[in-house]
A and B are shown apart, each in its own frame.
Chain A
Amino acid sequence: MLQDYLFPETVNEAVSFLQDHEGQARIIAGGTDLMLDIPEGKIETNYLVDISRIPELREITMKDDLIYIGAAVTHNQVASSELIQKNAAALAQAAGYVGSHQIRNAGTVVGNVCNAQPAADAAVALVALGATAEITTPAGQEYVPVEKMYAGVGRSTIDSTSQLVTRVSFPVAQKNQGTAFVRLHQRNALALPMLNVAVMVTLENGRFLWARICMAPVGPGPMRTLGAEEVLKGAEITPEVIEKAAQAVLEHANPRDSALRGSKEYRTSVLPVLVRRALGQAVVDAGGPSN
């Protein structure tokens, strides 16, 4: 039963409160998922520690070639940030697809990661961007790739009763880099994705230098597809290469049958199309040729 709702003013204050209450206190940011889970009894807590008013968590900043997104930054702030649009189009697009305008005004990108839903749009984009999370505990700070933050379906490696993800960061985009996010859904708002794909490419002299491809929900969390990335490495930018990489993602993809969001067979069949389209867009974003 909830006893109190607090607004710590600093990260340290938040984290020490968690420590003092040993599992009885929990971090809340936007609360758009948490406030559904608590009434349903999925989560029980005595104290909610609201981090949305801690100044340094409310910012999108750039420092030393890294872009930082604080834990209290909402989806809409990310989607409309010129810095993000320029450096990480995939993330701006992904954040713009989440839920609805009202949800995006409240829900945060970091919360999207911590909630650990398999197809969390922002998380998929962050994995493609190679983002790292900064986790603050009473012992200090740890840095974990977003990719490694999934412990299972709907389970995060983050324990929000003792840890606070303070921000996520990823490198500023180089001129020859591009990203893209594509999403398959049954309607344009208020819908979870049937599939989503984020990619990041780095081009050089008409070739892919390297690429990251992330897709969901084809496993417990956003899934990298190393085989397909390997296909692209050093390869010439041609429709055939892109198609080959797109087909190669199927080695790693294991979408399940969902009565709500499509059969395994259907999703397996259209996944390469999405990957192909995402790669095409990312190449253009990176200043490469459009096909």
Chain B
Amino acid sequence: MSLKILKFTLNGDPIEIAISPDEMLIDVLRDKLELTGTKKGCGKGECGACTVIMNGEAVNSCLVPAMKASCAVVETIEGVGSTDEFHPVQETFMDMGAIQCGFCTPGMIMSAKALLDRNTDPTSKEIKKSLAGNICRCTGYVKIKKAVQAAAEKMREKQ
């Protein structure tokens, strides 16, 4: 099997990396690029812990062949906010009890961010639908949903 050169934009930076064509995006991110913020909860697209944003859409990186990222713009949790200025979703997750064990958190934040990047005034139903692919076993989702609503509000205020 010959290696392929994968070029894409990751968290704003150009990336060029040799991969085998059967690798999945999650493994390139976690193992090759050592961005372990993206979590592996099931490896089958059933829990959302590995959610990243590719070309503006939340996807399960465990179901995306890495080659699909070719020329794409990929965002992972490592590219969201900074300690100087957290993303509003990070802020509200941290302050409103939306984080417990933290294992679903990066994926959850990516799903929420993808939603709010597109729509800063989502309905409660839209929030539920956007997060339903992200399993959280700790929180019962109550505070997560409130945090997303509050982040939306913050983002609307900024606009």
Contacts and interface: CB of A to CB of B under 8 A. Distances in A.
A100 B133 contact: yes
B31 to A, nearest CB: 16
B132 A7 contact: no
A36 interface: yes
Contacts of B131: 101
A38 B132 contact: no
Interface residues of A, number: 27
A2 B21 CA distance: 7
B58 interface: yes
A41 B22 CA distance: 13
Given A50-B67, A188-B132, A106 B22 contact: no
A1 B130 CA distance: 35
Interface residues of B, number: 31
Nearest to A106: B59
Contact of B21 (A48, A76, A101, A105): A48
B63 A101 contact: no
Contacts, number: 86
B95 interface: no
A189 B133 contact: yes
A5 interface: yes
14 contacts: A5-B4, A31-B64, A31-B65, A35-B65, A101-B111, A102-B63, A103-B60, A103-B133, A105-B57, A106-B59, A106-B63, A106-B64, A188-B132, A190-B133
Contacts of A96: 129
A4 B68 contact: no
B45 A103 contact: yes
Given A106-B64, A189-B133, A5 B46 contact: no
Contact of B1 (A3, A7, A31): A3
B44 interface: yes
A36 B21 contact: no
B21 A102 contact: no
Interface in A1-46: 1-5, 7, 28, 31-32, 35-36, 38
